[in-house]
Chain A
Amino acid sequence: MTGMPETQIDWSKGVPLTAGNYFMGLYQPSPETAGFWEGVANDELRIKHCRDCGRLWHPKRIVCTHCGSSDLDWKKADGRGEIYSFTEVRRAPTPAFAASVPYALGLVKLVEGVFLFTRFFGAPGTIRIGAAATVDFKVLELGQKLPVFTVGE
């Protein structure tokens, strides 16, 4: 997937115009997310927590939009939740993911009430709205360890 068919005029002087993999290569934690990834490195799911009003946020927050506080820290999540929405991906975005299809992506609602976008693992037919799911940590296709959810308590 280079994005430029060979028959076309090379006005970009050979620089590939595909943004996909290039953009993914720009992935990096930002100051307000570094603590989340530190948790993932230790197999711990963390949620941003407002020390003033107690609200919880995912995937990040700079200022608590409920009370306006900047006094935020990380709280360890229970790790359990239920599937809120999902899809089974059959066509991968890039070659890196092609060998993994089909795989399930969706939103999980944690018991704390916070929603996460994640990868679901489960036997066929078990990934459905309302199904209980538990956090796990796996190294996915881009070589990055991520929190994923497995169907079941």
Chain B
Amino acid sequence: MRSDIGSKVAIVGIGRALAKKSDPEPKTPLQLGARAAVDAMRQAGIGRNQVGALFTGRTPQSYMVLQYNQSLMNELKIGPTFCSETTNHGAGALGALEVAALALDSRMIDYALVVTNEASGIWMDQVGSNASWEGDLQFEAAYGSTTPALYAQFACRYMHEYGITEEQCARVSVENRRWALDHPHAAMRSKGAISVDDVMNSRMIASPLKLLDCAVWYPGGIATAIVLTRADIARAKHEEVTYLAGFGQCSTHEWVGERMGGWGYEPMVDAPDMIRTGAGVSAIQAYEMSGLGPKDIDIVQTSAPFSFVNLMILEELGFCGRGEGGAFVDSGGVDYDGGLPFNTNGGYLSFGQVAQGLYNLTDTIDHLYGRSEGRPVKNAKVGMIHGHGGVLACHAVVIVSREQLQ
């Protein structure tokens, strides 16, 4: 059944706070989150007493307190009606927007504040810690699993079943890097362009994933805060209004080893596999809600931490057919010159990964209003953002639009 909530909720305030590991005073996620939240409220022109809901993504790995949302609420001195984490891994960042939209559309509140923040690049050994978070402690981590090794299981099957080549995957790394060279905050901005050969010759991490197939950990911290309200309030009281035209979410598993024991639900109705993800289910929801299709999307951001995941997600989001991700990329589908504007800040591979679901969303909104920090995408009116977390476990897709659709 098609939801009628598309474009009934809008973004009216954005705040961002970035920190580098090399800063003289390293920042915590809470420091960055509070700064971004206050800036978003200020931009929206709302006071602390108007915040009806506070939703955070999952607790920052570099600030592991129970109920992180309460820590942030305490810092902001607000009294929300709804206050919660949205914890489906990295998908919780965009997923929190869905929760906010439902709360707003029900008219229980007028304004929702959504904040995501992470500074693991400043405080943590992300290779060691993430390996333990992504693997089942009893049945996977004890074997010496790493994040790339877990994703590599998907790469192995995806390449086997569809004949996807390492060179096709490498091409996404190359194109992502080109966008990063133009973006002031991209981790790999100063590292120069790379070629398919560079990717192919980079050292093996977990076959078939080589160093330049892998996301770089963002060497710092990023917080992003967003204020949302209902479309009627947005039009009446706010200047810059960006509509949530469509959104969707889908989670399929927790551990890789458990995934193959699950079926009977979308997207694995008949049997489990290592290819179909919740991104496709999320995209269908978002498209149906917005009344749009892939051809209507001007700019796309994914949360793909490995090059092959970009190909899979391009398929899942409907930009090419199942198994055609390699051919799509080969034919220039995501080329910096003339392709679909894709991962326009460099993506996880070259901007860096720090659970920045909402950052990618606000970066996209910048393009819609012609104020992008990196290379501009001209005449962009509609953007799609994909967020995911766990090992291809939890997915969220959001479509934003300058115009109210429906």
Partner of A88, one of B61, B154, B206: B206
A85-B156, A90-B207, A106-B156 known; A1+B128 contact, CB < 8 A = yes
Interface string of A137-149 (1 = CB under 8 A from B): 0001110101000
Identify the interface centre among A18, A19, A146: most chain B CB within 10 Å of its CB.
A19
Asked whether, in the complex, the Cβ of B25 is within 8 Å of the Cβ of A9, the reply is yes
A109, closest chain B residue (CB):
B260
Chain B neighbourhood of A19, CB < 8 A: 61, 64, 124, 128-129, 132-133
Q: Which of B129, B133, B141, B144 sits near A92, CB closer than 8 Å?
A: B144
Is A94 in contact with chain B by the CB < 8 A criterion?
Answer: yes
Interchain CA distance A65-B124 in the complex, whole Å = 38
- With A87-B149, A103-B144, A142-B142 as contacts: A18 and B157 at CB distance below 8 Å: no
Q: Which chain B residues border A41 with CB–CB below 8 Å? A: none
Chain A nearest CB, measured from B309 CB (Å) = 14
A26-B137 in contact (CB<8A)? yes
Contacts of B328 in A (CB 8 A): none
| Interface residue ranges of B136-176 to A (CB < 8 Å) | 136-146, 148-149, 152-157, 160
Complex: A92 Cα to B281 Cα, angstroms: 34
Q: B59 → chain A, closest Cβ, in Å?
A: 12
Bound-state Cα–Cα, A1 to B131, Å: 13
Name the B residues within 8 Å of A89 (CB-CB).
144-146, 148-149, 206
Q: How far is the CB of A99 from chain B (nearest CB, A)?
A: 11
Cα A111 to Cα B260 in complex, Å, equals: 14
- Which residues of chain B come closer than 8 Å to A90, judged between CB atoms? 203-207
Contacts of B140 in A (CB 8 A): 117
Q: Is the CB of A140 within 8 A of B125?
A: no
B28 in the interface (beta carbon within 8 A): yes
Residue of A nearest to B208 (CB): A87
Docked complex: B256-284 residues within 8 A CB-CB of A: 256-258, 260-262, 264, 272, 274
Least Cβ distance of A98 to chain B in Å?
A: 9
Are the C-beta atoms of B156 and A88 separated by less than 8 Å?
no
Measured between alpha carbons, how far is A142 from B142 in the docked complex, in Å?
Answer: 7
* Other-chain contact of A57, B127, B143, B261 (Cβ < 8 Å): B261
Cβ A115 vs Cβ B261 within 8 A: yes
Which residues between 55 and 88 of chain A lie within 8 Å of chain B, taking CB atoms?
57-59, 61, 65, 84-88
Interfacial chain B residues near A141, Cβ < 8 Å: 144
Which residue on A lies nearest to B145, using beta carbons? A105
Residue contact A3 to B125, C-beta cutoff 8 Å = yes
Q: Is the CB of A29 within 8 A of B129?
A: no
Main SS of the interface on chain A? loop
Cβ A17 vs Cβ B124 within 8 A: yes
Contact of B142 with A146 in the complex, beta carbons under 8 Å: yes
- A105 near B139: Cβ-Cβ < 8 Å: no
Which residues of chain A have C-beta atoms less than 8 A from B157's C-beta? 84-85
CB distance from B209 to the nearest CB of A (A): 8
Q: How far is the CB of A64 from chain B (nearest CB, A)?
A: 11
- Provide the residues of chain B in CB contact with A86, threshold 8 Å: 153, 156
A88 to B208, CA, bound (A): 8
Judge if A54 is at the interface, Cβ distance under 8 Å: no
Cα of A41 to Cα of B203 in the assembled complex, Å: 38
B26 contacts chain A at the CB level, 8 A cutoff? yes
A33: chain B residues within 8 A (beta carbon): 138
Chain A residues with CB below 8 A from B148, complex form? 87, 89, 91
Which residue of the partner chain, among B25, B141, B264, contacts A24 with CB atoms under 8 Å?
A: B141
CB distance from B60 to the nearest CB of A (A): 11
Q: Which residues of A contact B319 (CB under 8 A)?
A: none
Contacts of A97 in B (CB 8 A): 144
Shortest distance from the beta carbon of A17 to any chain B beta carbon, whole Å: 5
For the complex formed, measure the closest distance between the CB of B161 and the CB atoms of chain A, giving whole angstroms. Answer: 10
Tell me whether B257 and A107 are in contact (CB under 8 A): yes
Cβ contacts under 8 Å, A23 to chain B: 129, 132-133, 137, 141
When the two chains form their complex, are residues B156 and A93 in contact, meaning their CB atoms are under 8 A apart? Answer: no
- Checking B132, B138, B146, B272 against A91 with a beta-carbon cut-off of 8 angstroms, the contacting residue is B146
7 examples of A-B residue contacts, CB within 8 angstroms: A3-B129, A26-B137, A59-B138, A85-B157, A86-B153, A90-B205, A107-B260
Q: Which residues of A contact B (CB under 8 A)?
A: 1-4, 8-9, 11, 17-21, 23-24, 26-30, 33, 57-59, 61, 65, 84-94, 96-97, 100, 103, 105-107, 114-119, 129, 140-142, 144, 146
Taking A85-B157, A105-B143 as known contacts, 20 extra A-B pairs with beta carbons closer than 8 A to each other, sorted by chain A number, are A1-B127, A17-B124, A19-B133, A20-B127, A20-B128, A20-B131, A20-B132, A23-B129, A23-B132, A33-B138, A59-B258, A87-B149, A88-B206, A89-B149, A91-B127, A91-B205, A105-B144, A116-B139, A117-B143, A146-B142
